């Protein structure tokens, strides 16, 4: 896990690639007169600056940390003129989040894997919440009770009016009395109560953040979040767009100036003054919104998919500063005679686009579900209500009894799941694509199905959430929100790193102990009672089971069994040490045996017991004895001959 109580000081080690990167940075640093650390201005960026300070052995008291949230000449020059020291409280807050995630991943996952008998299953603060959302939605769908309801539409020449029944309801939102609705559908004569003209307007959507870009990539272009981010990464590397991992909708002043200059030259309906959006309370604002680096570049990208995504980004950015779309709206209220003592009223509404504004560039919000966007854009657009005079009586041509039924909530798509995680303050822009990839392709907790690429839980996804839900607090939706508040307390000096992690570690340890005492393992080991773990088949061998108490160093329970259609089968014969010596190193040989099962053959061979010391020699089994004349790995002498 790399971190231990009671101090919870992480033990950092270099990856193989990390060693090379650090060595190169240290060499370059030795050639420099000074170094500025210019990583992102959020907590993660502050932590990166601190790690660089550590490996480059820079003085922590030096004012060598600069920050900016837009890559423009003005912003960078201002940052260089105002260096500061590294904010160690921000570093502590970021490190605390990493350690909490480490606790959950390394402490909970092995226990859950043992209980469920699946060594590939894992738990995580964010990924498990993503799976829970989909599982909960599927439970809602399965538990949905259909409610049949009714409405009435009066038909006139070229327009219609809908029955307004909500004031007659005592709570609820649907009219379920079919007999009464049929009486309303018999109405033909109505009186005009009012007819009013007004206008309404629609503002454009905000510039793209990471989550809305992923939604637009999915809903408009059919890309999953991972592909959208890969394409955006390539556009960024080509210098075509700004940084694509951001939770902000803000645009720099330089960007706004360029948008307005281009828009006016192109004759677009620009605003008089820039439109701004307020970021969410949980936004760190390390970068501005995702936008073209140069507004006057209308096409960019080296592939057609890159060009498609760039066009979405360009239109969204420029469209954000265009005028509102305006609609002329006419609303007519009609009444009929009371039915069974109840007032009967109809409303007719028409809506006509009179000024395109931002819709001249992009007709709908590309981040919305296409069906929802089309329905919202078309609503009341086909109804041509004439100018009516209050007090006049009208005769309807016909009336329709509109039958409907309630539908279960729709399944999440990859895009809507990301949006829901964002709404709940769970996950960060840099992690959304990886989260979706983990819970679908890597772990198989969710499956993508249908033309709309909807998400459904798999059997193992359901098992995971069912066993976690009742036993661990991190699966609760407000866990991350509370954690973020506590991390902010560390960043502001109101909470200490050690005290927060002590609380989290103790609670998690208590939950694990209680979990182990009350939840029975799915497949107990016949020898020791611990859980058996499933090992999937590989190219080199079939599936099998082993005891979770087994230690690779040879300590603990050594029970293992064959697989029988996903269940532990017959116990496998354990390796037997023999009197035969390895021809390569002289250590004793081990007799490896797997008995045949229905539909699958067995095998026997002799392997060197010095495998862990590096000898990987093995020999065929010839009537229970090793054929030392046919080693799998030939000796150097034999190879030379």
Cα 451 versus chain centre, distance: 20
Local structure of residue 379 (DSSP, 8 states): T
As a three-state string, the secondary structure of 288-316 is CCECECCCCCCCCCCCHHHHHHHHHHHHH
- Give the torsion through C-alpha atoms of 103, 104, 110, 112, to 10 deg: 150
**What number of helices (H) and strands (E) belong to the chain?**
18, 18
Is 243 marked active-site? Answer: yes
First to last CA, the chain: 49
Which structure tokens are listed for 466?
């069912």
- Orientation of helix 478-491 relative to helix 497-518, angle to 10°: 150
Q: What is the dihedral of CA 471, 475, 480, 482, to 10 degrees?
A: -40
Name the one residue in this structure whose structure tokens are 């989550």. 211
Contact present, 216 and 232 (Cβ < 8 Å): no
Q: Residue 592: is it exposed, middle or buried by C-beta count within 10 angstroms (0-12/13-18/19+)?
A: middle
Please, are residues 210 and 415 in contact by the beta-carbon 8 Å criterion? no
Residues for the chain: how many in total? 641
Among the listed residues 243, 445, 550, 559, the single catalytic one is: 243
For the record, the structure tokens of 298 come out as 């209308």
Of residues 274, 225, 167, the one with CA closest to residue 421: 225
> Among the residues of 222-338, which ranges form H helices?
225-237, 253-265, 304-319
Strands 618-622 and 603-608: antiparallel
Beta bridge partners of 535: 544
Q: Show which residues are catalytic.
A: 243
């Amino acid at each position: 896990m790399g971190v231990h109580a009671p101090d919870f000081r992480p033990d950092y080690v270099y990856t193989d690639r990390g060693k090379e990167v650090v060595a190169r940075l240290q060499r370059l640093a030795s050639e420099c007169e000074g170094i500025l650390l210019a990583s992102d201005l959020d907590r993660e960026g502050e932590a990166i600056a601190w790690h660089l300070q550590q490996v480059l052995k820079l003085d922590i008291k030096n004012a060598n940390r600069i920050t900016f949230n837009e890559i423009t000449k003005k912003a960078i020059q201002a940052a260089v003129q105002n260096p500061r020291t590294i904010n160690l409280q921000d570093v502590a807050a970021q490190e605390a989040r990493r350690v909490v995630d480490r606790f959950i991943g390394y402490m909970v996952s092995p226990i859950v894997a043992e209980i469920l008998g699946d060594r590939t299953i894992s738990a995580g603060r964010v990924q498990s919440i993503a799976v829970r959302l989909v599982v909960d939605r599927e439970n809602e769908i399965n538990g949905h009770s259909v409610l049949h309801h009714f409405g009435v539409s009066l038909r006139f020449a070229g327009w219609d009016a809908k029955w307004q029944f909500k004031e007659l309801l005592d709570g609820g939102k649907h009219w379920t009395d079919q007999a009464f609705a049929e009486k309303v559908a018999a109405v033909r004569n109505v009186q005009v109560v009012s007819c009013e003209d007004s206008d309404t307007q629609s503002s454009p959507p905000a510039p793209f953040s990471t989550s809305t870009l992923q939604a637009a990539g999915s809903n408009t272009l059919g890309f999953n979040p991972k592909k959208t981010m890969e394409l955006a990464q390539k556009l960024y590397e080509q210098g075509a767009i700004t940084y694509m991992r951001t939770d902000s909708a803000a645009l720099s002043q330089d960007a706004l100036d360029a948008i307005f200059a281009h828009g006016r030259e192109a004759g677009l309906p620009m605003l008089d003054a820039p439109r701004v959006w307020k970021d969410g309370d949980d936004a760190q604002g390390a970068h501005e919104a995702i936008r073209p680096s140069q507004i006057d570049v209308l096409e960019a990208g080296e592939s057609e998919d890159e060009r498609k995504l760039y066009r979405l980004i360009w239109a969204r950015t420029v469209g954000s500063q265009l005028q509102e779309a305006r609609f002329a709206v006419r609303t007519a209220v009609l009444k009929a005679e009371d039915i069974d003592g109840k007032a009967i009223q109809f409303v007719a509404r028409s809506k006509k686009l009179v000024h395109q504004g931002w819709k001249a560039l992009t007709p709908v919000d590309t981040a919305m579900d296409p069906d929802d966007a089309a329905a919202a854009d078309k609503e009341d657009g086909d109804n041509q209500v004439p100018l009516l005079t209050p007090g006049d009586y009208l005769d309807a041509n016909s009336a329709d009894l509109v039958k409907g039924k309630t539908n279960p909530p729709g399944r999440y798509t990859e895009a809507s799941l990301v949006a829901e995680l964002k709404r709940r303050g769970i996950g960060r822009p840099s992690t959304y694509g990886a989260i979706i990839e983990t819970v679908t392709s890597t772990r198989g907790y969710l499956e993508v199905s249908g033309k709309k690429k909807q998400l459904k839980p798999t059997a193992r996804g359901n098992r995971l959430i069912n066993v976690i839900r009742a036993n661990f607090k991190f699966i609760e939706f407000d866990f991350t929100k509370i954690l973020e508040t506590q991390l902010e307390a560390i960043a502001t000096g109101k909470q200490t790193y050690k005290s927060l992690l002590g609380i989290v570690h103790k609670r998690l340890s208590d939950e694990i102990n209680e979990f182990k005492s009350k939840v029975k393992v799915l497949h107990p080991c016949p020898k020791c009672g611990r859980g058996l773990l499933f090992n999937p088949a590989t190219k080199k061998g079939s599936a099998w089971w082993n005891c979770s108490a087994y230690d690779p160093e040879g300590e603990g329970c050594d029970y293992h069994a064959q697989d029988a259609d996903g269940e532990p089968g017959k116990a496998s014969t354990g390796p037997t040490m023999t009197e035969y010596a390895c021809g390569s190193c002289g250590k004793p040989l081990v007799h490896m045996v797997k008995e045949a099962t229905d539909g699958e053959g067995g095998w026997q061979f002799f392997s060197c017991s010095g495998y862990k010391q590096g000898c990987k020699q093995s020999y065929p089994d010839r009537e229970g004895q090793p054929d030392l004349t046919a080693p799998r790995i030939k000796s150097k002498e034999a190879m030379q001959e």
